[in-house]
Amino acid sequence: MINRFFTIFSVCLLALSINGLVAQSTDVKYLELGEKKTPSISKILTWDSLGKRYQSRPEELDIKFTFHFLNKTKKEISIKETFTSCGCTVAKLPATPWIIKPGEKGSIPITMDVRGKSGVIEKQTTVVTDLGNVTLTTKVAIGAIKSANKPRKRSKEERAANLKLAAQNRQAIFQNNCVECHVEPTKGKRGRQLYATACGICHDATNRASFVTELRSISKGKTQSYWEQWVKDSKPGSLMPAFAKKHGGPLDDSQIRSLVAYLTRVFPREIKTKQAIVKSLKEKDSVLK
């Protein structure tokens, strides 16, 4: 919950390992962001590219990619959903299932949030169709990051002090020096991206503290009212902060609704899909061996 306790700030979902297995067997040829190309790469649909990359400028925080496709087959293809290897990356689809008719063109916009990141960042987006999956790779070489956007590594002493402070006031996570990691990144975010910046930054952290729950393991069967309670108001006696603005949190009612909708409707489905793909990849791997 309190990000200062961790040395790792990146938040990656289980799909990172899944897509990593796919990426290892695929030689991605990147198309530069803004470069236009007629769809020519066949992978269920025909794509302009399966990988796009960009050299960002320091002031750029949200990098927007668009992957174009064409259905060159003589039958309809159904795009069921997408999921990404990290919550910082979001792909947008119209209402699903998205039926692509023969000869029809389309595009999938993908946005990568590079706040607090440096170096070369590579993320995968898996497009799930009725004929199989397609992996789209986005890669950003991040320019010099302004110090205000780059998390500072905290010492053990600082983490201990923050833990003590949180025990006295759980809302301390939204105050003073904590603002740069727990308030600023949530501004303007909704749904999956909001989960990554508000929840995943702690609950998905590799070195999260023992008292911070791994949400995927408890998500099954949880209702809308359950998530609303914890996100908006939390509960007395816990270290979990209340995210609603009325409690001094950073989220307005609209953001909370989008986050609860994601946790209730999309989150469990993503976990189920990823588990199925992991199982399928392991089975294929065992056959190849």
Domain segments of the chain: what residues?
A: 3-9+146-268, 15-141
- The verdict on whether omega for the bond into residue 185 sits within 30 degrees of 0, i.e. cis, is no
Which residue(s) pair with 41 in the sheet?
A: 47
- What is the distance between the alpha carbons of residues 15 and 17, in angstroms, rounded to a whole number? 5
pLDDT at position 43, please? 94
- Mean pLDDT confidence for 16-24: 39
Burial of residue 69 (CB within 10 Å: 0-12, 13-18, 19+) is: buried
Q: What is the C-alpha separation between 269 and 80, in angstroms, rounded? A: 12
Average pLDDT of span 240-254: 92
Question: Looking at 79-83, 95-99, 258-262, 268-272, which range is the least confident one?
Answer: 268-272
What's the pLDDT score for residue 236?
Answer: 79
Comparing 125 with 212, which gets the higher pLDDT? 125
Query: Residue 284: what pLDDT?
Result: 67
Rounded Cα distance between 78 and 90, Å, is 20
Model pTM score: 0.56
User: Is the distance from CB of 86 to CB of 11 less than 8 angstroms?
Assistant: yes
Q: Is domain 15-141 classified as CATH 2.60.40.10?
A: yes
Above 50 in pLDDT, residue 163? yes
**What's the CATH class of domain 3-9+146-268?**
mainly alpha
- DSSP output for 108-119: EEEEEE-TT--S
Burial class (CB in 10 A: 0-12, 13-18, 19+), 197: buried
Q: Write out pLDDT tens, residues 228-240.
A: 999 999 987 788 9
pLDDT category at 288 given cuts 50, 70, 90 is: low
Q: What is the mean pLDDT of the chain?
A: 80
Residue 108, token pair as written in the block: 């999938």
Using 50, 70 and 90 to split pLDDT, how confident is the model at 21?
very low
pLDDT of residue 66: 96
Count CA atoms closer than 13 A to 155's CA, side-chain side. 3
What are the beta bridge partners of residue 59? none
Question: Percentage of residues in the chain with pLDDT exceeding 90?
Answer: 36
pLDDT at 68: 96
Q: How many CB atoms lie within 10 A of CB 183?
A: 17
Residue 75 has pLDDT above 90, yes or no: yes
Q: Residue length, the chain?
A: 289
Q: What is the pLDDT of residue 287?
A: 65
**pLDDT band at 146, cuts 50/70/90?**
very low
Task: Give the number of other Cβ atoms within 10 Å of residue 68's Cβ.
Answer: 18
Contacts of 231 (CB under 8 A, 6+ apart): 243, 244, 251, 256, 259, 260, 263
